[in-house]
Structure 1
Amino acid sequence: MGVLSNMIDRENLKLGDHIYSWRQAYIYAHHGIYVGCGMVVHFTRGAGQEIGTGTVLDNFLLSSSPTHSIDTPCPRCANQTRTDGVLCSCLDCFLSGGNLYIFEYGVSPAFFLAKARGGTCTLAPSDPVEDVLHRSSFLLDNGFGGYNVFKNNCEDFAIYCKTGLLVSTNISVGRSGQLASYISAASTVVSTPLRFMTTSFSGLALVSVGMYCAGRLMSDIGVRRDVLKVPVERLIATPGQDISPGLDISERTTEMAKED
Structure 2
Amino acid sequence: MGLFSNKISREELQTGDHIYSWRPYYSYAHHGIYIGDNKVIHFTRGRGQETGTGTILDNLLISWVPHRSFQHCSECRHNMQNSNGVVVSCLECFLHGRAIYRFEYGVDTATFLAKARGGTCTHAKADPVEDVLHRAFHLLENGFGGYHLFRNNCEDFAMYCKTGLLVLSPNVQGRSGQAATALLGVPLAASLLYPATLAVGAGVYCLSRYAVDLGIRDDVVKIPVEDLAVNLGWSSSSVPNEQN
Indicate the TM-score class for this superposition, using the shorter chain for normalisation. Answer: 0.7 to 0.9
Alpha-carbon distance in structure 1 between the residues aligned to 2:62 and 2:189: 26
Q: Does 1:145 align with 2:148?
A: no
Q: Which residue of 1 aligns with 2:4?
A: 4
Question: What is the CA distance between 1:2 and its match in structure 2?
Answer: 1.3
Contact 1:108 1:123 in 2 (8 A): yes
Q: Which residue of 2 aligns with 1:216?
A: 209
Q: Which runs of 4+ in 1 moved over 6 A?
A: none
Q: What SS class does the counterpart of residue 221 from structure 2 fall into? A: strand
- When structure 1 is superposed on structure 2, of 153-162 and 2-11 the one drifting more is 2-11
- The 1:83/1:243 distance shift into structure 2, 3 A limit, reads closer
Alpha-carbon distance in structure 2 between the residues aligned to 1:243 and 1:160: 13
Aligned-residue Cα RMSD (Å) equals 2.8
- When structure 1 is superposed on structure 2, of 109-118 and 176-185 the one drifting more is 176-185
Q: Which residue of 1 aligns with 2:13?
A: 13
Alpha-carbon distance in structure 2 between the residues aligned to 1:93 and 1:173: 29
Q: Which residue of 1 aligns with 2:43?
A: 43
- The 1:100/1:48 distance shift into structure 2, 3 A limit, reads closer
Q: Which residue of 1 aligns with 2:224?
A: 231
Q: Which residue of 2 aligns with 1:251?
A: none
Alpha-carbon distance in structure 2 between the residues aligned to 1:243 and 1:7: 33
Question: What is the CA distance between 1:107 and its match in structure 2?
Answer: 0.3
Aligned residue identity for 1:86: V
Q: Which residue of 2 aligns with 1:111?
A: 111
Unmatched tracts of structure 1, length 5 or more: 248-254
Q: Which residue of 1 aligns with 2:74?
A: 73
Aligned residue identity for 1:57: L
Question: What is the CA distance between 1:94 and its match in structure 2?
Answer: 0.1
Aligned-residue sequence identity (percent) comes to 51
Alpha-carbon distance in structure 2 between the residues aligned to 1:19 and 1:235: 22
Aligned residue identity for 1:230: I
- The 1:31/1:62 distance shift into structure 2, 3 A limit, reads farther
Unmatched tracts of structure 2, length 5 or more: none
- The 1:82/1:243 distance shift into structure 2, 3 A limit, reads closer
Q: Does 1:57 align with 2:50?
A: no
Alpha-carbon distance in structure 1 between the residues aligned to 2:191 and 2:152: 28
Q: Which residue of 1 aligns with 2:181?
A: 181
- The 1:57/1:90 distance shift into structure 2, 3 A limit, reads same
Q: What SS class does the counterpart of residue 74 from structure 2 fall into? A: coil
Contact 1:47 1:62 in 2 (8 A): no
TM-score where L is the length of structure 2 = 0.86
Question: What is the CA distance between 1:192 and its match in structure 2?
Answer: 6.9
